[in-house]
Structure 1
Amino acid sequence: MPRFTTDTMQPLDSALPNPPADRGNPTARRRLLVRVIAIGVLVAAAGACAWALAYPERTPPAVGNIVEQLTGANPHPVHLERPPVAPLSAMAELGKQIFFDQNLSASGKLSCASCHSPAHAYGPPNALPVQFGGPSMTLQGDRPPPSLMYLYRQPNFSIGPDASDADAAVNYAQEAVAASGVARAQKTAGVAPAAPAMVPQGGMFWDGRADTLQAQAFGPLMNPVEMANTSEDDVARKLSASAYRDDFLKLFGPNIFKNQHMLLSEAMFAVARYQVENPTFHPYSSKYDYWLEGRARLTHAEMHGLQLFNDPKKANCAGCHLSKPSPDGLPPMFTDYQYEALGVPRNNKLAANHNSSYYDMGICGPYRTDLSAQTQYCGMFLTPTLRNAATRHVFFHNGVYHTLDDVMKFYNLRDIAPGKIYPHDGQGHVLQYDDLPAKYHANIDKADAPFDRNLGDPPSMTDDDIKDIIAFLNTLTDGYQPNRSTH
């Protein structure tokens, strides 16, 4: 019996170009049927994509997933709230001059911008594990400078629920004791952020010891291996002799240089204003931001990387590095602002680590001293934002890794193949978690995927998975130019 098309009632084979000569061949008929079905599927998919792009709010999740896979488009675009852009105030302009002033350092060669380069996402401009400073620029630091981008959203350091009286003096030790009996919540991508009842959160630097941009800006001025001023008098004298002295006088009057405390306070406030007002510190201009808004499309590798990033049984990155916009429309910060003990390997290239008895234990010291007795936090460091992570050349608090590939392999192999991550002693034993005293190893995260695996288990990610996750991480780099055709 001849087969007919539905619109013309012509034999189906005659309606196709170059109909096969062996129409009676069952194999040929099956091939033809497969082609027709494939065309139908493609037409249906195209229709679903068109519908989803035109009516995203009425698109079922299953159809949205098809759209993502086939087009790389976000079927549910959102509106992101960005900070307003305006000319810098006189206070911020003063802060800009301070930020780039090398004369404020003991060496005369180091400014804020030296370690927080605008051309490198306000992070270090080189691949050194840590930076050099001091009076002669010969002293090595022991932690890589974090990026200054997006710090305006960083919450204050705290432990446990927010205090009911925001103006009350905070006793972190008491908060730690109150939280000590609360079990640590497991962090799972796609689930609401873990309650901060036990884990500290917020603050600046790797250990959260500064709560404000002013305090963060002042810290390097006095650090002996950074700008290396020996006293506040040193800083005040240099500000008094600066090329922008008249700007201080215009803003604060003739008595500003007679009050050292006020001078330093206003100078650091000016630096903070520069960071808040200058949009280059928080542009939200990554490809992922534009994808969220429906203004860019992800490649297949980037899309797959995003899925793995959010998959609680795979990379589970979003368990700590939250990837969804906030309920009020703020772009995702890719951090939960909490602290983790990850047990990264010791970096023996750091001068401080040449002393075998020295350990950088984050919240427990050496820079913080107020929580040194709270040993349940030893080894914990702040979870950084992953925005612009692909522009960095060093990772973790000790700069032990220099590529995202190495970072992902650490997460993938730390517990299932520790011999590939950590050094061995003279007898061949693996020195796992070698950058933290053994008595604090219980603080290390072993519950959250992919750290929930045991020795010899299969890895949670393949090499191709890791490549795709890194492809996605590259979409978090600011400065992407969206294709206007995708608007």
Structure 2
Amino acid sequence: MHIRLLIRRSIIGCITVLFTTHVFAGDSKLSTEHVRKLSIEQSLGHKIFFDTNLSNPVGQSCASCHDPKTAFSEPDLDSPVSSGAEIGKIGTINTPTAMYAAFIPAFHFNSEEGLFIGGQFLDGRESTLEAQAKQPFLNPDEMNNPDKANVIEKIRNATYADDFKLVFGQDALDDIDAAYNHVAAAVASFERSVIFNPFTSKYDYYLAGMVELSEQEERGLHLFEAEDKGNCAACHPSQPLDEKPPLFTDFTYDNLGVPANQKILEIKGADFVDMGLGKTVKDHPNAEAGANNGKFKVSTLRNSAKTAPYMHNGVFTSLKEVVDFYNTRDVDPRWAEPEIAAGMNTEELGDLKLSDQEVDDIVAFLRTLSDGYELDEWATIDQRNIINLPYVRIEGQNVVSRIYSVQMEKTAAAQASSQYQVTRLKELSLTDNFQQSDMPYYSLDTGILEIPAIRKTHENGKQSTYVAQFKKAFINEQLIFELSYYKEWQ
């Protein structure tokens, strides 16, 4: 009875309308149920990853630029690069998803293929997850700490300092360099957890024989793999290898002839050019002078519908725009000149001769690569503005999680302000074979409702999918949830 009263006090009320005004991400929290399944070292890495005290000034964490709501990528669609902890500082490269980064091989030169392969960051400048994890804390354009000692001192004073000693030993924070290595190891351990590597997309379930692709998705898969059509699979392998799910990248580097992003040039200067791999390997014995300028690592296409904007400089904002670019780069004058023309790939893209329908089919297939595909019912908002949440997990540190079905309808008094009132709240008793990989969840501890995926049907019949976050608030003494973030899947 107590849990039900808590839920009613937290949920029953009004909710701000979905998807009418762009807002920015608030605090992001992982589901308590997901965190409980982590190992001790992974749990420590989770705490470090979300700690906003580890920047200078405080306020930015790893999760600020690698937000779980958007597949651990930059949550702000309007910005091609992430902002730093210090006001006015920004990065120079589009923040990639951290999901599946654990599978990227160490940076190396493959003498048989004559190619550089693997490595972390889009330019491969660090070899391993551990090496990558050390960089943002000290980067002046990111978390902006002056040195390792500053980071370790903050961890010595953190609430999880005892956890750190439990994992790495009682003297683990005594030596600065050793402690900093431990920090990187914990973060990398967290990034190797199932939270970052779930393999729960529709395509994964399709490969397992659990679902069928739609006719359009099937056509898109064929076009994606056909050498005389999209030929996307040449760099983004789509079939299992050695009984392991495909990662949709071959970890190589390529210059796609992407145009410069004017938003970056306005901040960094008109002459700014990111050389990519060329800068990383400029002194490498196997690198031909200038040949690797403008090359960036082939990104995984998993969760690409959630991770806009696209390309190393965030110049494109939709998947359709990306596929259009691949298709017509060399024949359509709407595309600006490439940022670096020398060494541009002219063999595998630029004039694919795909029809508009074929472009749409490939995009439809790419959308099947998003994790969290619901084998049961989806959360929806229909044309009557009725929100249906078939499953919501109510959770907290000191309570047993329970699953509810929730429906919200716009109230008569709230037509102008588009507020919603709970009209159904029903506790569910689910069978053991219930499969809901990424259901909405409400935290009694934080007052945050996370909806990883909600579908909206528009008047023209088109469906859009969004990720959304709501925060509990009181307006005119009435308990509501305010929309604190949303982003449309591409």
Same fold (TM over 0.5): yes
SS at match of 2:369: coil
Matched, 1:131 2:82: yes
Question: How far is 1:119 from its partner?
Answer: 1.5
Measured at CA, do residues 159 and 107 of structure 1 come closer, stay the same or move farther in structure 2, by a change above 3 Å?
same
Q: What secondary structure sits across from 1:334 in the alignment?
A: coil
Instruction: Letter of the 2:297 partner, please give it.
Output: L
Matched, 1:355 2:269: yes
Aligned residues: 342
Counterparts of 1:154-303 in structure 2, within 5 Å, are 154-161=104-111, 197-277=113-193, 279-303=194-218
Task: Confirm or deny: 8 A CA contact 2:282 2:289 kept in the other structure.
Answer: no
2:96 is equivalent to residue 146 of structure 1? yes
- After TM superposition, list the pairs within 5 Å mapping 1:267-416 onto structure 2: 267-277=183-193, 279-326=194-241, 328-351=242-265, 354-365=268-279, 370-371=283-284, 374-416=289-331
Deviation (angstroms), 1:447: 1.3
Q: How many Å separate the matches in 2 of 1:207 and 1:382?
A: 6
Inter-partner Cα distance in structure 2 for 1:160 and 1:472: 31
Aligned CA distance change for structure 1 residues 370 and 98 (closer, same or farther; 3 Å)? farther
C-alpha distance in structure 2 between counterparts of 1:347 and 1:475, whole Å:
28
Residue 87 of structure 1, CA deviation: 3.3
**Structure 1: unaligned runs, 5 residues or longer:** 1-84, 162-195, 423-431, 454-458
* Map 1:1-80 → 2, pairs under 5 A: none
- In the alignment, the residues of structure 2 paired with residue 200 and residue 329 of structure 1 have an alpha-carbon distance, to the nearest angstrom, of 25
2:219–2:362 CA contact under 8 A, matched in 1? yes
The residue type paired with residue 471 of structure 1 is A
Secondary structure of 1:307's aligned partner: helix
Distance of 2:254 and 2:283 partners within structure 1:
18
Pair 1:471 & 2:364 matched: yes
Q: Show CA shifts across 1:183-224 (max 9, x none).
A: xxxxxxxxxxxxx62221100101111121111111111111
Please identify the structure whose Cα radius of gyration is greater.
Answer: 1
Higher fraction of strand: 2
- 3-state SS in 1 of match to 2:308: coil
Specify the alignment match of 1:96 in structure 2: 46
Measure the CA separation in 2 of the matches of 1:230 and 1:122: 25
* Secondary structure, counterpart of 2:247 in structure 1: coil
The alpha carbon displacement at 1:160 in A equals 2.0
C-alpha change, 1:353 and 1:421, in structure 2 (3 Å) is farther
Partner of residue 447 from structure 1, selected from 341, 344, 347: 347
Give per-residue Cα distances to partners, 1:57-91, cap 9 Å, x unaligned.
xxxxxxxxxxxxxxxxxxxxxxxxxxxx9932211
- Matched position secondary structure for 2:115: coil
- Looking at structure 2, the residues matched to 471 and 103 of structure 1 have their Cα atoms a distance apart, in angstroms, of 41
- Tell me, yes or no, if the aligned pair for 2:59 and 2:85 is still in contact at 8 Å: no
Per-residue deviation at 1:252?
A: 3.1
The worse-fitting range, judged by mean Cα deviation, of 249-258 and 356-365 is 249-258
Measured in 1, the distance between the counterparts of 2:159 and 2:283 equals: 38
Q: 1:34-54 deviations in whole A, cap 9, x for unaligned?
A: xxxxxxxxxxxxxxxxxxxxx
- TM-score (ref. length: structure 2): 0.66
1:482 aligns with 2:367: no
CA separation of 1:352 and 1:205: change in aligned 2, threshold 3 A? farther
Aligned residue for 1:258, secondary structure, equals coil
3-state SS of paired residue (1:375): coil
Cα displacement (A) at 1:106: 0.5
User: What SS does the aligned partner of 2:173 have?
Assistant: helix
| More helix, by proportion | 1
Q: Is the 8 A contact 1:142 1:352 kept in 2?
A: no
Q: Map Cα deviations across residues 392-441 of structure 1 (whole Å, 9 max, x no partner).
A: 22000000010011111111111122x2101xxxxxxxxx22x12xxxx3
Q: Structure 1: how far apart are the matches of 2:176 and 2:191?
A: 23
The percentage of counterpart residues that share the same residue type is 38
- SS at structure 1 position matched to 2:152: helix
Q: Is the 8 A contact 2:265 2:272 kept in 1?
A: no
AA aligned to 2:135 is: G
Counterpart CA distance in 2 for 1:99 and 1:368 is 29
Amino acid at match of 1:268: A
**Structure 1 pair 153/231, CA: closer, same or farther in 2 (3 Å)?**
same
Contact persistence 1:413–1:420 (CA under 8 A): no
The whole-number CA distance in structure 1 between the counterparts of 2:232 and 2:127 is 26
So what's the TM-score if we normalise by structure 1?
0.67
Cα distance in 1 between the residues matched to 2:302 and 2:188? 20
